[in-house]
Amino acid sequence: MDENKLYKSLIICVLVLAGLSLGAFFPRINVAGFELKSVDLFSDLRSNYRKNAAVHNLQANQSVIFDLTYLPYLHGFTHYLTASGGISPLLALPNFGVSADENEKRFVYRFKDDRSVSLKSIAELLAGPVLFEDFSPEGRSMKQFFKELGAIKRGEEKGRIAFFGDSFIEGDIFCSDVRNSLQDLFGGNGVGFVPITSEVAQFRSTIGHTFTGFRSYSLVKNDSVSEPFGAGGYCFTAGEDNDVTYSVNPKYKHLNLFRDIRLFYTSPENTTFNYSLNNNGIRETKIFASDRLQQEVFNDVNATTVSFIFPVSDTIKLYGVSFEDALGIYVDNFSLRGNSGLALSRISESMNRQFNQFQNYQLIILQYGLNVIAADTKDLSWYVNPMINVIQRLKRCYPDAAILLMSVSDRSTNVGGEYQTMESVPLMVEAQREIARQSQVAFYNLYE
């Protein structure tokens, strides 16, 4: 008769259970860049307490601070943003107050809560959850931007914001709300700059975008390639049977019609390309030879779709298309998945200046950092100086633009079965604040 071996299954189960139980006591191990996480069968039975994030004091007397806690009230105070005579006109406005510290080197701007008749003290404001700090001398940078918003509101000029970031803003997930709110306040119809191709086109809802037959180069994916990258970190060349089509989304009131269209390119030769509006016949237009960035402008097209077909060429560099109106404000989404921000240093200063000659940005927003930190990040000193250099390059290329550096948002990690804020997040926030301070630009704390 065969021997009963069922007890061996029990032994195997006991050994597996013991091994998994012991796994909770082993540290995390990195193998060839991949982290092997510990296994804790009893994590749900433990009591874990989130560590309190360190409280960091702001640099005294070195910043202008805008408390945006009451941002929803902005719609009721558009005259604040259109004031153009400095601080004094604002003091007379209802529900608005300005406080200064004892040395008058720090100003705190905020709206009063409708439920309160008094302003909070500076100490209370500094302890608030949302702070906007301007480290530029005397806060001139953002003050100038606010003044220009007044001119945009009055229809005297067009406004543009360049929003650089990583996957946090891709697909217009973040920028669409910013753009829509600004265009509600200051006018404008159009999504702004859109690249020739995009890896997030399928889930970007603010514009329809299909393409085929193009070769794409990016700062992140083509480290060894020295292509003349555009301001967004991309450039494109056209291959056989190429076609790119853009279409509006009627659900967005400011994005439901193409009015003015501008195409950006460089070409070493004179040639032509084809385009179509509303699928209504093919039209031809010229490309002019130049070693500098060019734009082809189509005014008052009043279309819901536009398609482009380009000559096959490795030397004609294509960048993207801007959709806009004659006036108003526009937000160009320059997202680049996997970018820490440092890759922006690979865009030539000459190309940045050429883009700015056409775009004339009044504000540049930088959103980076989530691709830099990990759960075990302890030191970010290596990141600070290179990022300062990136900002200094941007200041040289866009001398009239205010620059706003956004901190990282919250990011969690699984610790013992609970999702907790990475301990490296507050470290990155302080590193980014230091970058803004040394660069003398504005800083927005998205984490707090």
The pLDDT tens digits of the residues spanning 280-304 come to: 999 999 999 999 999 999 999 999 9
Q: Residue 10 has what pLDDT? A: 78
pLDDT at residue 237 is higher than 70: yes
pLDDT at residue 47 is higher than 50: no
Q: Is 148 left (phi over 0), alpha (psi -120 to 50) or beta?
A: alpha
Q: Residue 347 has what pLDDT? A: 94
pTM: 0.77
Phi and psi at 124, nearest 5°, equal: -70, -40
Q: Residue 26 has what pLDDT? A: 63
d(CA 12, CA 218): 52
Fold of 59-188+327-448: Rossmann fold (3.40.50)
Q: pLDDT-based confidence at 250, cuts 50/70/90?
A: very high
Q: Compare 433 and 264 and report the one with higher pLDDT.
A: 264
Q: Is the dihedral of CA 157, 436, 99, 122 positive or negative?
A: positive
Q: Residue 24 has what pLDDT? A: 62
CATH 3.40.50.1110 domain position(s) in the chain: 59-188+327-448
- HSE, CB side, 13 Å, CA atoms: give it for residue 203: 7
Q: Compare 359 and 9 and report the one with higher pLDDT.
A: 359
Give the chain's mean pLDDT: 80
Q: Compare 115 and 268 and report the one with higher pLDDT.
A: 268
Q: Compare 447 and 201 and report the one with higher pLDDT.
A: 201
pLDDT at residue 117 is higher than 60: no
pLDDT at residue 325 is higher than 90: yes
pLDDT at residue 112 is higher than 50: no
Which option is the CATH number for 191-325: 2.120.10.70, 1.10.3720.10, 2.60.120.1360, 2.40.170.20?
2.60.120.1360
Q: Compare 115 and 197 and report the one with higher pLDDT.
A: 197
Mean pLDDT of 225-235: 88
Q: Residue 38 has what pLDDT? A: 61
Helices and strands in the chain: count of H runs, count of E runs: 9, 22
The residue with tokens 């918003």 is: 149
CATH 2.60.120.1360 domain position(s) in the chain: 191-325
d(CA 103, CA 292): 49
Q: Residue 448 has what pLDDT? A: 75
Q: pLDDT-based confidence at 142, cuts 50/70/90?
A: confident
Percent of the chain whose pLDDT exceeds 90: 54
Mean pLDDT of 422-435: 90
Q: Residue 82 has what pLDDT? A: 37
pLDDT at residue 102 is higher than 90: no
Q: Residue 447 has what pLDDT? A: 84
Alpha carbon of 213 to those of 193, 197, 228: distances in Å?
A: 21, 10, 20
